Amino acid sequence: MTLITGDRVVVGADGGVVRLIRGQGRAGTGFSVRREGEHTYVIPQDALRMVGDGVLDRRLFDVAQLVRDGYDDAHGSTLPLIVGYRRDAAGARITTGDVLAGVARERRPLPAVDGEAFDVPKAEATALWAAIAGRGGARTPGAAPETPIARLWLDGRVRAVLDTSVPQIGAPAMWQAGYTGQGVKVAVLDTGVDETHPDLKGVETAQKNFSGSPDSQDRHGHGTHVASTVAWSGAQSGGSRKGVAPGVRILDGKVLGDDGFGSYSDIVSGMQRAVDQGAEIVNMSIGGLDDPGLDPMEDAVARLSGRALFVVAAGNHGDGARTINSPGSAPAALTVGAVDKQDRIADFSSRGPTAAGESKPDLTAPGVDITAAQSTQSAYPRGDGYLTMSGTSMATPHVAGAAALLLQQHPTWSGAQLKALLTGSAEPDPALGAHAQGTGRADLARAATAFVVSEPGSLAFGTHSWPHADDKPVAKPLTYRNHGAEAVTLRLSTAATDPAGHPAPAGMFTVKDAELTVPAGGSATTTVTADTSKGTVDGAFGGTVLATGGGQSVRTGLAVGREVESYDVTLRHLDVDGANPLTYSTTVTAVDTAGESPVGHGEVPYDPSGTVVHRLPKGEYLLESLVFSEGNRMAVFVQPVLKVGADTTVHLDSRKARPFAVTAPDRAARLVASSAAYEYPPAGVAGYFATDGHTRLLTAALGPAAPTLKAQYNGLWKRPGAAGEDVDHRLAFHRTGSWFTGLDRTVKRSEVAEVKLGFGASVTGAKGVVGATPLDGEGFSAGAQPESERSLPLAAAQYVNTAGVRWAWTASQLNALREERMIYTTGPVAYKPGSRHTLHFNTGVVGPDLAAGEEQGANRYGDYIDARVQLFNDGSGHSERLPSPAGSPS
């Protein structure tokens, strides 16, 4: 997998790192490797600050996810990116030359994010990185790299978010009043729309394919189902099945390919095209998991919502908090959850608040077992022309159609007004809180007769810091606008729930006026106050202001947060001279917290002064920090037990870090690569820090011991041997309970074992890689070990230390793309001091074999025999394997 920096990572089938290959001219670059569950982040040292600053998308370095999404070198020679440009105080774009010139391909403007999408050939990645980051700028203390780039995102993948429902939201009442959505343009950004379906003939007025698929045909079926929910005519069913707004015209934007996936840039391009084509409502039954930062889709919603109402699926990630998808997480979006036919919230419907703390969803609509038109080219089994599906994808077009009907009724209203009308007239489930349902299920029958709306449609009061006894009330104005011909007197009240769905304490939300008279054609304003000093429960609260009177019922969403018990943790970073470091990167990971865990990945914001105050809930954390000094020195601090129960200061002082002073038995051997790593199961995190011979690795353990922490040092020393035979010394040391504070070891010849290694070649001129993984007595290893490419055939003398360590060998022959394609492995071997051994890989006679192993050889399962034959087993009995598709090294 080639990174944006030009460095390459060989990724194993389990998503772990097998090998790091520095890009051209990048000798001396250190790496931070961090495993968090299914994700593996490999971040070079000169990218750490830009990731911490939010300039670089962290997903650009998640090699496990990049491989899963098909961005590895085996599946493509380019990396898709989106850039957002900086502007000065006057609003002019900052230009310091075209940093993409000569390296970017397929450049496509994306005005919706004030940037452009482009592909960079992986062979040119090093040149692009030099232009973006600048070797000097990225290493200057306190100075930001000179670049016009505000954000650089991976052009990531997004997918589709998978007959009584139309009456359920009250659409027939509007039909009877003569409203069908006629004259309204609704853009459906999805997998395409099958305009040949009898119920959709003549509905589509424009189409454009933004996806990587060859044309606009809907071979998936999701887009046709969604579009018909908005606008199908009922022709095939004799009128028994109709869309919410059968009179609208559909703008078909195919932003998802035939596989149901699409890229950020395709979706943002479709959003821009939709508003440019005059769409007043944009349906987006798509999404991806939301992170705390701003992604391109959220940015586009914010920039384009003044021209159209974006109706977006909340997501199908279940009833956990903070599961709202992007771009439904954008505050301006009308975000839709799903209910069933009995108005019960769907188990799969995503809940709020968002990763950024915004109250979502805004409302709900039917999304369970929805029957709508089936594309004639659908991947789903063919039926009678109709298909039943479930998801917030299905709920979203109900609301988009509802908005179209209301826009026909109120043709001059803005998207924000339509949003307020829909959320204000929704029917709530009294058993649910706002983070599950917003203001309730869409109710067109009520919206059709509503002439009083609130401005804004919701009020967010932010999150207030703990402790709360002295919290000051926060007041915000709430305006009611009367579009009717007579004055209306409204009775005002509030209702809210705590994070568990129980009633909020009395006085948390209050409204100034018990009654408010709104003149005909005019407006009246009251004040709503949130007082977080009330009560004892902490977390996210949601509720509504209910205004009733004159036949009107208007709901306005409320949200406020009481921070859980939290404290300031001051982090002071110093280099080896006690000065401001070149750069640093610090993360904290929750191990055990009494309240909410920190949102996001635990990255501590960067401050050029070297001192950061980071707010953390009371609890226990794992802290990891990399601090860089002049002279290619990298200090790694690990504190597995950081207990936060009061304001505290952590000193990350590189002067207290110590080097690895390990001496090989052969004094002529030179250290060419080293790494230090740890694994801490309570936090679900593993860290790995790699350097080559140009960078000095320093370490320091902080805080008390942690019995379950495992740590490893692994070094590789080399010297040329006689007759072309290489001589390698591989020395590894493990410890349990704490991180290293340096290591001082002199290894004697009597303490090592000799392994005479031979590695044959199946073709002339082949190259290969030999690696050895050190394991402790319990099987722990960092997984990745220093390796280097060598010409085959190879003869090498390998010397390995023996005390407390076992060694497992790997030999891989590379193809022309330097990808590992013939891989031989051994199990872990415990060598005795002074012993001598031979080990041969990829030598004759080569042939098939029924290799042993859980999934290898021949196995009988009842009446079936499953025989798995390895075709290229070498003469020493080593089984050859190819990398699995999920872990193709590249």
The catalytic residue among 222, 464, 573, 878 is 222
In sequence order, what DSSP letters do the residues of 712-735 get, joined into one string?
A: EEEEEEEEE-GGG-EEEEEEEEEE
What order do you get walking across the sheet with 552-562 strand by strand? 458-464, 552-562, 539-549, 488-497, 515-518
Burial class (CB in 10 A: 0-12, 13-18, 19+), 392: buried
Helices (H), 94-156: 125-133, 135-139
Q: Single out the residue of 408, 16, 391 nearest to residue 181, CA to CA.
A: 408
> What is the C-alpha separation between 67 and 434, in angstroms, rounded?
38
> What is the C-alpha separation between 878 and 254, in angstroms, rounded?
50
Residue with tokens 């085996």: 74
> What is the C-alpha separation between 427 and 550, in angstroms, rounded?
18
- What are φ and ψ of residue 85, in 5° steps? -95, 155
Burial class (CB in 10 A: 0-12, 13-18, 19+), 605: exposed
Q: Would you state the structure tokens that stand for residue 467, as one six-digit string?
A: 């402790």
Q: What is the DSSP letter of 102?
A: T
The catalytic residue among 73, 155, 190, 362 is 190
Burial class (CB in 10 A: 0-12, 13-18, 19+), 852: exposed
Q: Is cis: bond before 845, omega within 30 of 0?
A: yes
Q: Is cis: bond before 519, omega within 30 of 0?
A: no
What angle (nearest 5°) sits at the alpha carbon of residue 512, between those of residues 508 and 516? 135
Do the beta carbons of residue 686 and residue 678 sit within 8 Å? Answer: yes
Q: Is cis: bond before 793, omega within 30 of 0?
A: yes
Do the beta carbons of residue 741 and residue 653 sit within 8 Å? Answer: no
Bridging pattern class, strands 334-339 and 309-313: parallel
Catalytic-residue membership of 222: yes
Burial class (CB in 10 A: 0-12, 13-18, 19+), 384: exposed
The catalytic residue among 393, 458, 553, 781 is 393
Q: Would you state the structure tokens that stand for residue 609, as one six-digit string?
A: 């002064």
Per DSSP, the three-state class of 113 is: helix
Do the beta carbons of residue 461 and residue 480 sit within 8 Å? Answer: no
Q: Please, which contacts does 744-749 make with residues 24 or more away whose CB atoms are closer than 8 Å?
A: 744/661, 744/662, 745/661, 745/662, 745/663, 746/662, 746/663, 747/662, 747/663, 747/664, 747/665, 747/801, 748/665, 749/665
Q: What is the DSSP letter of 68?
A: H
In sequence order, what DSSP letters do the residues of 724-767 get, joined into one string?
A: G-EEEEEEEEEEESS--S-EEEE--GGGEEEEEEEE--SSTT-E
> What is the C-alpha separation between 181 and 411, in angstroms, rounded?
10
Helix, strand, coil content of the chain in percent (nearest 5): 15, 40, 45
Q: Is the dihedral of CA 237, 239, 241, 247 positive or negative?
A: positive
Catalytic-residue membership of 393: yes
Supply the residues annotated as catalytic. Answer: 190, 222, 393
